[in-house]
Structure 1
Amino acid sequence: MSGKTCFVVQGFGKKTDYTDGRVLDLDASYAIIKEAVEAAGVECIRADEIPHTGMIDLPMYEMLLQADLVIADLSTYNVNAAFELGVRYGLRPGATIIVAESQFKYPFDVGHIVILNYKHLGEDIGVQEARRFRLALAEAIRNALARKETDSPVYTLLPDLQPPQRGIARPTPAPAGAGRTVAVESAARFFQDASAITGDVASGSDEAAPALPPTAKALLDQALAAINPADGRPSDFPRAVKLLREVRKQRPNDSFVVQQLALATYKSKLPDAEAALLEACRILEPLGPATTNDPETLGLWGAVHKRLWEQRSRPADLEEAIASYQRGFYLKQDWYNGINLAFLLDLRAREWLRAGEHDEAVADSVQARRIRREVVRLATPLADIADDDPQKRFWLVATLWEAALGLGDDAALARWDAEAGALKVPQWMHDSRQEQGRKLRELLASYRSLQSA
């Protein structure tokens, strides 16, 4: 390594682009950025990899000032990333690179600034695109560090402006890399975790290492592994909740962290199923589920209220679930919200029949079938594309299986049942599919029985 540092300004986890409803996996983007940076001989760090206590503000500002290079990813119109980019432009005249996903719609104020684009295929980046972007970014990094040109619009338009300096000057030149901040030095050891929180023990020397707080990234990675363990092992939702609460202390306004905490909370069923669901509602409230355009939040809000309906049989819970899935489906045109919406419409159709409202029941039943056909149209082309992630493929296949069950398509039902059963995913996912199938069969049978009565 050259002793130089690069600070990557970017969200982490999966984020929704509110201009089109697409969900992008920014961790996949960061993996490629990190490879390009390290290929140029530069140490790479993102905010969630810096060990710290409390809020990230101080080490973030130190990195924006002192990092030899900053790469800002504006994908999904990340307001925090745009703010940090502006701070960097005010602090340093050069060595700042902007990147964004190819469907990023340029605001007027950055239309004259060079932005390197990369392309997501679904949530992830394809192999060929990853290779192309890595090479293009590596070249941009080498140029930014070697040419020392002004790229900040602040210093370009105000050429007599002098960059700010910290109050303490070093009396003698320091060797390469010696001027790094405590935040950067700590970041170099971010793999160390806190056994008091995670229960893990770090390997290495018998000599006691300096105590470092766990990084948000380390905690989040462990939480996600607890939710979706490899090789079909059971999920540990209580542990995931514990870890995610710690992440949230560091990243209180990160929607992905809030969404995962809500998911793990209601899945934990602690202290009991209904209490866990109500706590998940409380966790999601700051994301504004009543007005949000985020399909991920809407999907979770719908899932929680669907389960609350099962617990309490309150019509308000059913209506809230339908409204959430409906808005999510029409915003994103995705199969996840669609398949859940179809089920709930059939459920409400049965309730209409029980109340003697035959016309309302028929309307919901017909709409449920139409949505299932639309789900099949949306999901079938994706099922023909190879996916190395068995969990992503499982939910896609499970959705097509449920759609076939609801439409009475026996051939498609057998095909997708065989494929879903063969995928190696956590057992709770297999159990969830089978339980949903049981509920749908019972629902359709009771609807037919009430209709013929």
Structure 2
Amino acid sequence: MPKKRCFVVMGFGTKTDYVNGRKLDLNKSYRVLIKPVVEERGITCVRADEIIHSGSIDVKMYQELLEADLVIADLSTSNPNALYELGVRHALRPYTTIVISEDKLVYPFDLNHILITSYTHLGDAIDFEEVGRFRKALGQKIDTVLQTQESDSPVYTYLHSLVPPKLAKEIAEQAASPKAITDDQDSGKGKALSYLIDEGEKAIANHEFSKARDLFESAKLLSSQGKSQTDSYLIHRLAFCLYKAAEPSLKDSLYKALELLADINLAHSNDPETVGTAGTLKKKLYEIGDGENHLEDAILYFQRSYYLLNNRYHGINLAICCIYRVNSALNHTDEERVADLVIAKRTWKRVLYLCDRDQAKLEQKTAHTSEDSAKSEESEELSEYFQKQRFWIAVNKAEANFGLGNFEAYEKAISEAHSIPHPKWMWDSFETQLVKLKKELKLAGHLMNPQWKMPEENDTNP
């Protein structure tokens, strides 16, 4: 008897929920919450990016929506493709469809009568206790729908006489069976999108940016077959890798990355990841001396991303860009320079508030982690995530306090950051920006009220 098959309908990579601006790592949802629960029941679990195919993936996708014994649709971030594919499944099969989402999804009106099983996502990670709770809930849901086969499709619920379609026998026999990538397939053969993405992310983690660039370029080409637009996550990662690889030159790579973002509607996008990435690229072009027009653009992009997402990273970058403008030819009077200094100071104060808010949430989450959970792979990954967040909160506090002239608080935050284990590149990234900020504030600090001036004993730091 052939194994049952589950097709998972959801986005891949990191996606933005445009309603609230939150970024969610959907690969983590799939890998941690969904796939293990399905496979422990002896069911083959596959997502579209895991299917090895030649030609259009749409053929395989529609075949899965019709023939899969079970479909799990994750609607997190209100992904339009997932919503569409769920509708197709509901039209094709009267039962064995499960709908899930992270708990901050704003339900479209037509989904109000559909039971959606929710989970809590931290954005880049998922709390260990939540993993255990949701896996249990999803497992019970799978057992129930496979055993009872009660209608979960609103189409068949309201159209009682509708007969489910099926492929003609001769067509079904000719159709190539979808093939999922397997754990032992590590050679990269075939064209599974998930393999290219996983290898690309590993290369980024190892700072092999040229390798990662090539992998995401291949992923982009594969994903865009037969489509007018490439998935935004692949564009963001490719743009990042281009910038970091800096080949054949940093300037050329920055312009190539900006061209990629232009293809996903940079001019009008309300995706914080898209405009924030553009801000980073424009800021770097200004820093390497390619023109003050890039600084003006960087400020506009960081303003958009900061006000959309209201987070520390975009606030920190908006503030330093305003300080850059103070000392640039873009400002012609002291009144204009003071205005930028005021914007920077207000932004730093907001960053400090966000640091306190995020740290309180972080401590609340870590307090719920049990001693036993530290032995699992998921909890170790979560602990590393919490550790990185603590470090970034500490250095964001340090930079904001440094800009505000709160040097005692700055030193305290620096000490805290040093005490948190972190890779060298994270410290280097922070220190590089702080050196630039110090240089700019030494030129413009006399215009601040009170005047910005480092204490003599700290004048050699950072």
TM range (shorter): 0.7 to 0.9
Secondary structure in 1 matching 2:52: coil
* One-letter code aligned to 1:224: E
Q: 1:443 aligns with which of 423, 440, 443?
A: 440
In structure 1, the partner of 2:209 is 237
Question: Is the contact between residue 338 and residue 447 of structure 2 (CA under 8 Å) also seen in structure 1?
Answer: no
Deviation at 1:62, TM superposition (A): 1.8
Alignment-derived partner of residue 399 in structure 1? 396
User: Which residue in the other structure is 2:374 paired with?
Assistant: none
1:431 to 428, 432, 454: 428
In 1, Cα distance between the equivalents of 2:171 and 2:233? 41
Q: CA deviation at 1:54?
A: 4.7
Change over 3 Å in CA distance of 1:355–1:79 after alignment to 2: closer
Q: 1:363 — aligned with what? A: 339
Change (3 A) 1:412 1:56: farther
Residue equivalent to 1:326? 303
Task: Flag structure 2 segments of 5+ consecutive residues without an equivalent.
Answer: 225-229, 367-382, 452-462
* Mapped contact 2:331–2:337 kept (Cα < 8 A): no
CA contact (8 A) 1:192 1:214 kept: no
Q: Report matched runs for 1:10-409 at 5 Å.
A: 10-30=10-30, 31-168=32-169, 182-183=177-178, 186-187=179-180, 189=182, 191-194=184-187, 212-229=189-206, 235-252=207-224, 253-351=230-328, 356-383=332-359, 385=362, 386=366, 387-389=383-385, 390-409=387-406
TM-score by length of 1: 0.87
Q: Secondary structure at the match of 1:287?
A: coil
Question: Corresponding residue for 1:410?
Answer: 407
Superposed CA deviations along residues 48-79 of structure 1, whole A, max 9, x for unmatched, are 22222454212212211111000001110100
For 1:270, the aligned partner's letter is E
Asked if 1 retains the 8 angstrom alpha-carbon contact of 2:5 and 2:69, the reply is yes
Letter in 1 for 2:48: A
Where does residue 232 of structure 1 map in the other structure?
none
| Partner SS, residue 6 of structure 2 | strand
One-letter amino acid of the counterpart of residue 94, structure 2: P
What is the CA-CA distance between 1:192 and the residue it aligns to? 1.4
Aligned twin of 1:199: none
> What amino acid sits opposite 2:429 in the alignment?
S
* SS of residue matched to 2:168: coil
Give the superposed CA RMSD.
2.5
Q: Provide, for residues 295-329 of structure 1, a one-character-per-residue CA deviation record: whole Å limited to 9, x for no partner.
A: 11111000000011123442321111001101111
2: CA distance between counterparts of 1:423 and 1:271? 36
1:365, distance to aligned residue in structure 2 (A): 0.3
What is the distance in 2 between the residues matched to 1:170 and 1:89?
22
Counterpart code for 2:53? H
On the 8 A contact 1:191/1:218 being kept in 2, the answer is no
Contact 1:345–1:368 (8 Å) recurs in 2? yes
**Structure 2 CA distance for aligned equivalents of residues 120 and 153 of structure 1:** 28
Q: Partners in 2 of 1:167 and 1:104 — Cα distance?
A: 39
Q: Deviations over 1:124-176 (max 9, x none)?
A: 322222222111111111111111122112222222222222222699xxxxx
1:358, CA displacement in angstroms? 0.6
Deviates more, 1:104-113 or 1:65-74: 104-113
Separation (CA, whole Å) in 2 of partners of 1:322 and 1:403 = 17
Corresponding residue of 2:458: none
- The 8 Å contact of residues 181 and 192 in structure 2, kept in 1 or not, is answered as no
Question: How many residues are paired up?
Answer: 422
Question: Alignment identity in percent?
Answer: 40
What secondary structure sits across from 2:46 in the alignment? strand
Partner AA of 1:58 in structure 2: V
Partner SS state of residue 53, structure 2: coil
8 Å Cα contact 2:52-2:181 kept in structure 1: no
How far, CA to CA, are the matches of 1:332 and 1:304 in structure 2?
18
Q: Counterparts of 2:394 and 2:416 in 1: how far apart (Å)?
A: 7
Decide whether the 8 Å contact of 2:51 with 2:192 is kept in 1: yes
TM-score computed with the length of structure 2 as normaliser? 0.85
Question: Residue type matched to 1:129 in 2?
Answer: E
Q: 1:241·1:265 contact (CA, 8 Å) conserved in 2?
A: yes
Q: Distance in 1 between matches of 2:174 and 2:2?
A: 13
